[in-house]
Chain A
Amino acid sequence: MHYYKPQSFDEAVQIAASASGVTRFLAGGTDVLVQLRAGTVTPDHLIDLKLIPGVHDIARTEDGGWKIGIAVSGIDLGRHAELVAEWPGVVEGMSLVGSTQVQGRATLTGNLCNGSPAADSVPGLVTARATVTVVGPNGSREVAVEDIPAGPGRNVLQQGEIISAITLPPRGKNSGDAYLRFIPRTEMDIAVVGVAVSVTLDGDKIIAARVALGAVAPKVLVAADAAAALIGSTLDDAAIAALQAAVTAAAVPITDRRGTVEFRKDVVAVLAARAARIAYDRAKGAV
């Protein structure tokens, strides 16, 4: 195994582009090192991105959004008061990943690239319309977060391609988001179902909404019908019922050691309603 510590993304791209065999990147390492120790993935090339300048920074973009470095840990994200105030749903998704120790290392980018359909931070990023900057041998491009996962344990990045930052758009007024997951315990677990909801209000009325579902499909699911069920409503009972029907219909879960198809379809509806109420209250400034 070869281990590299590039000082820039250009250098990292060069190393990755010319590497043969299995390449893995280290941002937090909380998945890569576990897979390495378990013997499930033994990389030929391990490229450590943590030393590249800026990867630990959270910075305001010119248009009022946020640029989040790829090595920003869950704890640093959770301690950033402005970011938490604007995107509580994004931050609470990340803060649910792992233990306190894991939180000191784990990153949004790593959670995304790991490709788990149950990744807790991904639905919140999707409802936020977050994008990632992908750098590679052919230059850089912006890609929507939901377009990165390719299925369990896989992503769409080609050889030599690396995510260099995550960008959140400006939050805008009268908006709120929330992420909820179901686990049988209280922490240290993998989502059996995850739901993120983001809404923007005009008065009491929802004028924009996004709903994303985790752990009920091979990759994160954008539930457009569920969002449509919310738009134009004041989150009344009929809208909640329509939201629940839409997410249950959209979910295509499997039965495995963590839950059954029936249970996941039931619980995705429960969590969607609960997350929508939290997001709505946050948009109203009630919480």
Chain B
Amino acid sequence: MPKDELKSEYRLIGTRPDRPDGLDKVTGRARYGADMSLPGMLHAAVVRSPHAHAKILKIDASAALALDGVKAVITRADFPTGLTGEDWNLQENSMAGEVALYDGHAVAAVAATSRLLAEDAAKLIKVEYEVLPHVIDVDDALRMDAPVIRAGVGDHTVPEGSPPNVSKKIEFGHGDLEAGFAAADLIREQTYKTEATHQGYIEPHACVAQLGSDGKGEMWVCTQGQWYIRRMCSAVLGLEASQLRVTPSEIGGGFGGKTIIFMEALPLALSRKAGGKPVKLVMSRSDVLRATGPTASASMDVKLGMTKDGKITAAHVNFRMQGGAFVGASPVGEALSCALACYDIPAVMHEGVEVLANRPKAAAYRAPGSPMAAFAVESLVDEMCHELGLDPLDVRLKNAVHEGVKASYGPTYARIGLVEVLEATKKHPNLLAPLGPNQGRGIASGFWFNHGGETSVSLAIGEDGTVTVSIGTPDIGGSRASMSLMVAETLGIAYEAVRVNIVETGALGVNEPSHGSRATFASGKAAVEAARSAIREMCRRAAKEWGIEEEAVEWKDGAAMPAGPNAGKFPPMTIAEIGAKMGGTGGPISGHHETNADGVGASFGTHVVDVEVDPETGRTTILRYLVVQDAGTAIHPAYVEGQYQGGAVQGIGWALNEEYVYGANGRLQNAVFLDYRIPVASDLPMIDTVIVEVPNPGHPYGVRGVGETGITPPLPAIANAVAMATGARLRSLPLSPPKVLAAIKAKKG
């Protein structure tokens, strides 16, 4: 296997072996959420509100229940009462109570012997509504006279006299803001807006669930986190968590959107009502777009002070975000924390509010909050660089954070790689490509914290010396390959000798989902520790057989061997030999590790994009795209590049054409992929990538986590490029052709 061009002292880490899940996926053998079926299984369909905001007066299911083959209908009356906080939010979002809060909000569900029958039955469930005034736009929702979504939503952080839909207010900062702005030669303040976008995973939510009257249940589900599904479903339905066994399916994308429940409690409730028969529920694409988590929409003010040589002296950001009709769903806190994270600024102030609107409950979406924040801040930095005649890369280098600097959001940075990223960007040949008429180049940087979190991993030595690893974080981005590489590296065995399984909730301690770019970092760290624990046991077995002290045995190249000439003369005992006789030497050998993984290392990235804008139609073509990002260590570089490219592509979609379009009636107008325009393959050039490696000292192999940072720079990078290509600065996304053309025409006068 060829070693990668990346410098590495490792035997396997940094190579690009075939992915363990590859053959299953290309042959169609991989089992996704909708592939599960059970004998006697019923099929569910959901009745959804066609109104953005409406009181539910009456639900009449008699005609549906009269159909032969219809086994159960549920409404909110079938759920326990008295829930509070996020548990109540999850229950209210699973099934509307007194009021439907957005177009697509579930109000009833039915289980029947076939999917067609369930869908026919759903049409027969009559719901009487009293339509209420609604509000969609984030700034409209902040008006004092906006329709009130829920009285008294503001928590203790919300000052009295605030608009009624404000649920949370955040303020933090440090340094002398006044002195900082006084030291600036140029102060600029602008307002930016971004629309809600959906994660757009290929696989719709799907599950099969079974729940008996004894409270014991089972579920097979497409998710990023089986324990979160278990906890949330248990809370919403009043079950004991350990009585619900949740097995994750193969997953066709999540991007944060599959870390919480949307419809998963419904088939459980239907199953319980239908005498414990298993119930399958698969969402349509329209249901996914209408009723699962998009990200928030944002309205953001940024004020920056800069000296004429490009030093940023002060920054003040004020963000407003709506994450749907539910408290705490918006990522306004993360957005604020990420906004200025790339810059070493003496004085910073952050303010933000969350506001409720009649939209679906927002879920995490790849670096939640950071892309919007970057759009606002990195656009204004670019505007000011141009105004002062400064090179945007040099200005970013001049202000770049590094080890020891106090971050804008509080802590002091450990070893980070932003400077290395910017220097690698400067050297890239894409920056020398000549630009033609109507073309422009945009540059922006971005940041994500990365995450550790609750992690539990087990590893078992097989009778032939091969190794099984049980992981609790679903593989959404190549983590089975990276775990296999790290475990094989640690044990000194072949990559192919390791099989990594993503296991159900009964098999390990509680794991957080695959979120926060944590799987390869946290599960990887625990897997390495589990392997080390198994190594210690294997050394003990060898020591016992050789009749020497444990400390006199060391592990090397997949075998136990005497630690030196004084330890005695014994031939190496391989993992295969130890495995073959472990039954007689003390029983099964396994390793286990659980942790609240610390030592997280942040990842920074810089993107450079060249665009061409058709001056007559406002249509933007991406000509060249470069991603430079610090991976810490790239365990499997092909997967790292895939994450970089994927993040860039989702960002390109968000920047150019993706948006939730609502009609005057508050209904989503584009709940199909035909009109919710994610990029298609032919829209994109090859996304060039450069992996920078500044190892994270908090991980045994230096991993930082690479999944999320890649979506943070594209929004401003593209807006900056379009501004250069057209001379028109757009501060509202998406940069759809009608908006760009209008801006070009306005500029011409």
Which A residues contact B (CB, under 8 angstroms)? 38-39, 182, 184-190, 192, 256-260, 262-263, 266-267, 270
Tell me if B680 and A188 are in contact (CB < 8 A): yes
Measured between alpha carbons, how far is A262 from B738 in the docked complex, in Å? 8
Q: Assess A262 versus B742: contact at CB under 8 Å? Given A184-B736, A267-B617, A270-B617.
A: yes
Q: How far is the CA of A182 from the CA of B657 in the complex (A)?
A: 14
Tell which of B616, B617, B618 has the most Cβ of chain A within 10 Å: B617
Query: Cβ of B616 and Cβ of A270 under 8 Å apart?
Result: yes
Task: Tell me if B572 is interfacial: C-beta within 8 Å of chain A.
Answer: no
Q: Contact check: which of B661, B669, B741 meets A263 at CB < 8 Å?
A: B741
For B618, list chain A residues within 8 Å (CB): 263
- Residue B512 at the chain A interface, CB threshold 8 Å: no
Report A-chain residues with C-beta under 8 Å of the C-beta of B738.
Answer: 259-260, 262-263
A287→B141 CA distance, assembly (Å)? 55
From B306-314, B578-586, B671-679, give the one contacting chain A: B671-679
Q: Are B617 and A182 in contact (CB under 8 A)?
A: yes
Closest to A274 in B: B616
Given A257-B661, A257-B669: A182 and B119 interface contact (C-beta under 8 Å): no
Q: A166: shortest Cβ distance to chain B, in Å?
A: 26
* Beta-carbon contact of B680 and A186 below 8 Å: yes
- Known pairs A184-B736, A256-B669, A267-B617. 6 more at Cβ < 8 A? A184-B619, A184-B737, A187-B680, A192-B737, A259-B738, A266-B745
Residues of chain A contacted by B403 (CB below 8 angstroms): none
Closest to A193 in B: B617
Contacts A186-B683, A266-B741; A257 near B736 (Cβ below 8 A):
no
Chain A residues near B669: list those with CB within 8 A. 256-257
Q: Indicate if B566 sits at the interface (CB-CB under 8 A).
A: no
Contacts of A270 in B (CB 8 A): 616-617
- B interface residues, tally (CB under 8 Å): 24
Once the chains bind, are A258 and B675 in contact (CB under 8 Å)? yes
By Cβ-Cβ distance, the 5 closest A-B pairs, closest first, are A263-B738, A186-B682, A270-B616, A257-B669, A257-B661
16 residue pairs bridging A and B, Cβ less than 8 Å apart: A39-B119, A182-B619, A184-B677, A185-B677, A185-B679, A186-B682, A186-B683, A187-B680, A187-B682, A188-B680, A192-B737, A259-B737, A263-B737, A266-B617, A266-B741, A267-B616
Q: How far is the CA of A98 from the CA of B683 in the complex (A)?
A: 15
With an 8 A cutoff between CB atoms, is B362 at the interface?
Answer: no
A128→B657 CA distance, assembly (Å): 34
Which residues of the other chain, A, contact B661 by a CB distance below 8 angstroms? 257
Min CB–CB distance A34 → chain B (angstroms): 9
- Taking CB atoms, residues of chain A closer than 8 Å to B736 are 184
Task: Give A258 to B670 CA distance when docked, in angstroms.
Answer: 9
Contact B670 A257, beta carbon cutoff 8 Å: yes
Q: Which residues of A contact B670 (CB under 8 A)?
A: 257
Q: How far is the CB of A46 from chain B (nearest CB, A)?
A: 15
Contact B741 A185 (CB under 8 A): no
A185 touches B119 (CB 8 A): no
CB distance from A112 to the nearest CB of B (A): 20
Q: For residues 242 through 281 of chain B, which have their beta carbon under 8 Å from a beta carbon of chain A?
A: none
Task: For the complex, give the distance between the alpha carbons of A231 and B233 in Å.
Answer: 70
Residue from A185, A257, A267 in contact with B680 in the complex, judged by beta carbons closer than 8 Å = A185
Hey, which chain B residues are within 8 Å of A188, CB to CB? 674, 680
Question: Footprint of A on B, CB under 8 Å?
Answer: 119, 286, 616-619, 656-657, 661, 669-670, 674-675, 677, 679-680, 682-683, 736-738, 741-742, 745
Residues of B within 8 A of A262 (CB): 738, 742
Which chain A residue has the least Cβ–Cβ distance from B678?
A185
**Minimum distance in angstroms from A214 CB to a CB of chain B:** 16
Complex Cα distance A39/B674, Å? 16
Bound CA span A245–B308, Å: 49
B-chain residues with CB within 8 Å of residue A258 when the two chains form the complex: 675
CA distance A192 to B657 in the complex (A): 13
Inter-chain CA distance A190–B673, complex, in Å, is 11
Q: Nearest chain-A residue to B663 (Cβ)?
A: A257
A194 to chain B, nearest CB (A): 13
For A42, give the chain B residue with the smallest CB separation: B120
Measured CB to CB, the nearest residue on chain B to A258 is B675
A101 to chain B, nearest CB (A): 13
Which chain A positions have C-beta within 8 A of B680?
Answer: 185-188
Q: Cβ of A185 and Cβ of B683 under 8 Å apart?
A: yes
Closest to A39 in B: B119
Tell me which residues across on chain B come within 8 A of A39, comparing CB atoms. 119
> Considering only CB atoms, which chain A residue lies closest to B668 in the complex?
A257
Give Cα A2 to B680, complex, Å.
37
B674 near A190: Cβ-Cβ < 8 Å: yes
B11 to chain A, nearest CB (A): 43
Q: Whose C-beta in chain B lies nearest to the C-beta of A269?
A: B616
For B616, list chain A residues within 8 Å (CB): 266-267, 270
User: Quick one: closest B residue to A263, CB to CB?
Assistant: B738
Nearest CB in chain B: distance from A259 CB, A: 6
Q: Which residue of B lies closest to A259 (CB)?
A: B738
| Residue numbers in A under 8 Å from B675 (CB-CB) | 190, 257-258
Note all chain B residues with C-beta closer than 8 A to A260. 738
Contacts of A187 in B (CB 8 A): 680, 682
Contact A184 B656 (CB under 8 A): yes
In the bound complex, CA of A254 to CA of B446 (Å) = 39
A256–B618 CA distance with the chains assembled, in angstroms: 18
**What chain A residues lie within 8 Å of B737 (beta carbons)?**
182, 184, 192, 259, 263, 267
Min CB distance, B618 to chain A, in Å? 8
> Taking the nearest CB of chain A, how far is it from the CB of B748, in angstroms?
12
Chain A residue contacts of B119, Cβ below 8 A: 39
Q: Which residue of B lies closest to A186 (CB)?
A: B682
- Chain A residues, CB < 8 A from B741: 263, 266-267
A266, B736: Cα distance in complex, Å: 15
> Which residues of the partner chain B approach A267 to less than 8 Å between Cβ atoms?
616-617, 737, 741
Can you name the residue of chain A whose Cβ is closest to the Cβ of B734? Answer: A184
Question: Nearest chain A CB to B529's CB is how many angstroms away?
Answer: 47
In angstroms, Cα B616 to Cα A33, docked, is: 37
Chain A residues contacting B682 (CB-CB under 8 Å) are: 185-187
- A82–B745 Cα distance when bound, in Å, is 43
A210 to chain B, nearest CB (A): 23
Chain A residues whose C-beta falls within 8 Å of the C-beta of B679 in the assembled complex:
185
CA A189 to CA B656, docked complex, whole Å: 15
Q: Could you tell me if B674 and A184 are in contact, using CB atoms closer than 8 angstroms?
A: no
Chain B residues contacting A182 (CB-CB under 8 Å) are 617, 619, 737
- Give every chain A residue within 8 A of B683 (Cβ-Cβ): 185-186
Q: How far does the alpha carbon of A94 sit from the alpha carbon of B456 in the complex, in Å? A: 56
With A and B bound together, what is the CA distance between A179 and B669 in angstroms? 28
Instruction: Tell me the bound Cα distance from A84 to B340 in angstroms.
Output: 57
Closest to B616 in A: A270
Residues of B within 8 A of A257 (CB): 661, 669-670, 675
Closest Cβ of chain B to A106, distance in Å, is 14
Question: Assuming A184-B737, A257-B661, A260-B738, is B619 touching A189 (CB within 8 A)?
Answer: no
Residue of B nearest to A190 (CB): B674
